[in-house]
Amino acid sequence: MILSYQDNQLHMEEVALATIAEALGTPSYVYSKRYLDEAVEQLKSAFAGTPTKIHYSVKANSNLSILRVMAAHGCGFDIVSGGELSRVVAAGCEPGEVIFSGVGKTVEEIDYALKLGIHCFNVESEQELNRISERARNLQKVAAVSMRVNPNVDAQTHPYISTGLRENKFGVSAAVAMQLYQRANEDPHLNPTGIDCHIGSQISQTEPLLEALTGLLTLVDDLERQSIKLEHIDLGGGMGIQYKDEDPLDIESYGGGVAQILGGREQTIFLEPGRSLTANGGVLLTRAEYIKPGAEDAPNFAVVDAAMNDLIRPALYQAWHDVLPLKSAESACAKTWQIVGPVCESGDFLAKDRELPIAQGDLLAVTSAGAYGMVQASNYNSRGRPCEVLVDGDTFSVIRRRETISDQLRLEREQL
């Protein structure tokens, strides 16, 4: 347990979260190093029977300190932009440990990745393969490529995070993939080294993931018969976690199922976890600015200083995040609250219909905020983005300072 009440104060590891809030202000993102360490090692253990390489998905949480924690455990990185590649480099990590995903890679991004010598491009279309070939030829490089296959497998998740169906924009069909492999195999500036799929996020059952793997292996065998031997099979990420009462993916069962289906094949399995390694290792601290009790049958509103620009998941996905008071007050009278932010939108809420004792000035922790929180934060309403903090045992450190209005204005000209 990284979160626990000790002497009526909510702690992360051995640090009282109220201490961080009072020292650094709110809103603030706070992450547990212990959680990150344990999550990576648990995943490695689940796949211990299979040659496996973890490539942490940078889009989940791209703070440089988080990247360094992942690298310390031997992880590579899965990126979807040139900016994320720059972050990996700035964190002191090896470009050769990077795989580049995403449907819209620009010429500039491809050139940057080729010059740095990344491990592999996950190719999502015929035109992208042509572009990578052209840029590799111009730079006198050989680009390692892996075709992202869309297996038409239903991940049974939220439609915004489903990626493995025909109607999704990602990847190519198996038939098109075969053509692209043949094309790449004949190109002196391309080296087909792997095959890739990613069917969605927040997957709670192993069956869709194993079904996708089975489909990939059919392609792998067909390619071998054409003398195209692949080095790795990339299963993507999408391993579901528990936000409320969902069943998280059983990673032990997943790892065992993968080992059984592979049956001793030589290819290395690549995994691209993001959320499953960081989400439940982070919280967003916020303070109640105003309390608005409802008249008659109207709802009660607790207006806090965090908003949809800080954590957009509830507004965007109708996502559920638990909300915990930083000070335990079991004897206090609880009411049902709509926990909302100060942004000028009716959709600006962090939680709805929560039974909590809340008074003006109280500090709260929005849980499961370690993934897709800070990375999706914005400056809407000219609000500065929160600071980020890493807890390690009984100490904490600022790993990104709070953004100021000066930070926002410095990119704008004073006059035309």
- pLDDT 10s digits, 318-372: 999 999 999 987 656 789 999 999 999 999 999 999 999 999 999 999 999 999 9
- pLDDT 10s digits, 265-323: 999 999 999 999 999 999 999 999 999 998 878 899 999 999 999 999 999 989 999 99
Q: Do residues 270 and 360 share a domain? A: no
In this structure, is residue 59 part of a structural domain? yes
pLDDT at 222 over 90: yes
Q: Mean pLDDT, to the nearest integer, of 18-36?
A: 98
In this structure, is residue 65 part of a structural domain? yes
In this structure, is residue 416 part of a structural domain? no
Q: Do residues 324 and 237 share a domain? A: no
* pLDDT score for 43: 98
pLDDT at 157 over 60: no
pLDDT at 166 over 70: no
User: Can you tell me which residue has the tokens 């936000």?
Assistant: 243
Q: Do residues 172 and 256 share a domain? A: yes
Q: CA-to-CA distance for 306 and 320, rounded, in angstroms?
A: 16
pLDDT at 170 over 80: no
Q: CA-to-CA distance for 242 and 247, rounded, in angstroms?
A: 6
Q: Mean pLDDT, to the nearest integer, of 130-150?
A: 97
Q: Are 113 and 82 in contact (CB under 8 A)?
A: yes
What DSSP string describes 183-236? Answer: HHHT-TTEEEEEEE---BSSB--HHHHHHHHHHHHHHHHHHHHTT---SEEE--
Give the domain CATH number at 382: 2.40.37.10
Q: Do residues 298 and 249 share a domain? A: no
* pLDDT score for 415: 63
Q: Mean pLDDT, to the nearest integer, of 370-393?
A: 98
Q: Mean pLDDT, to the nearest integer, of 151-161?
A: 53
* pLDDT score for 201: 86
What DSSP string describes 286-344? Answer: EEEEEEEPPSTTSPEEEEES--TTT--HHHHH-----EEESB--TTSPPEEEEEE-SSS
Q: Do residues 343 and 358 share a domain? A: yes
Give the domain CATH number at 219: 3.20.20.10
* pLDDT score for 218: 93
Q: Mean pLDDT, to the nearest integer, of 225-238?
A: 96
In this structure, is residue 42 part of a structural domain? yes
pLDDT at 162 over 60: no
In this structure, is residue 254 part of a structural domain? yes
pLDDT at 160 over 80: no
- Of 278, 301, 318, the residue at which a domain comes to its end is 278
Average of per-residue pLDDT values in the chain? 93
In this structure, is residue 315 part of a structural domain? yes
- Of 278, 305, 329, the residue at which a domain comes to its end is 278
Q: Mean pLDDT, to the nearest integer, of 152-168?
A: 49
Domain that holds residue 362: 3-31+279-409
Q: Mean pLDDT, to the nearest integer, of 179-190?
A: 97
Q: Do residues 257 and 334 share a domain? A: no
Q: Do residues 131 and 110 share a domain? A: yes
- pLDDT 10s digits, 33-43: 999 999 999 99
Q: Is the dihedral of CA 302, 303, 305, 306 positive or negative?
A: positive
Q: Mean pLDDT, to the nearest integer, of 394-402?
A: 98
Specify the number of domains making up the chain. 2
- pLDDT 10s digits, 66-91: 999 999 999 999 999 999 999 999 99
* pLDDT score for 330: 63
Q: Do residues 83 and 111 share a domain? A: yes
In this structure, is residue 155 part of a structural domain? yes
Q: Mean pLDDT, to the nearest integer, of 203-211?
A: 92
The alpha carbon of residue 368 and the mean position of all alpha carbons in its chain are separated, in whole angstroms, by: 12
In this structure, is residue 415 part of a structural domain? no
Q: Do residues 321 and 247 share a domain? A: no
Q: Do residues 205 and 58 share a domain? A: yes
- Of 238, 254, 278, the residue at which a domain comes to its end is 278
* pLDDT score for 155: 47
pLDDT at 161 over 50: no
Joined tokens for residue 394:
């009984």
By annotation, the residues acting in catalysis are: 344
Q: Are 194 and 231 in contact (CB under 8 A)?
A: yes
Which band of pLDDT confidence, cut at 50, 70 and 90, is reported for residue 390?
very high
Q: Do residues 19 and 110 share a domain? A: no
Q: Do residues 225 and 115 share a domain? A: yes
User: Can you tell me which residue has the tokens 């990185």?
Assistant: 77
* pLDDT score for 269: 98
* pLDDT score for 165: 44
251 forms bridges with which residues in the sheet?
none
Which band of pLDDT confidence, cut at 50, 70 and 90, is reported for residue 159?
very low
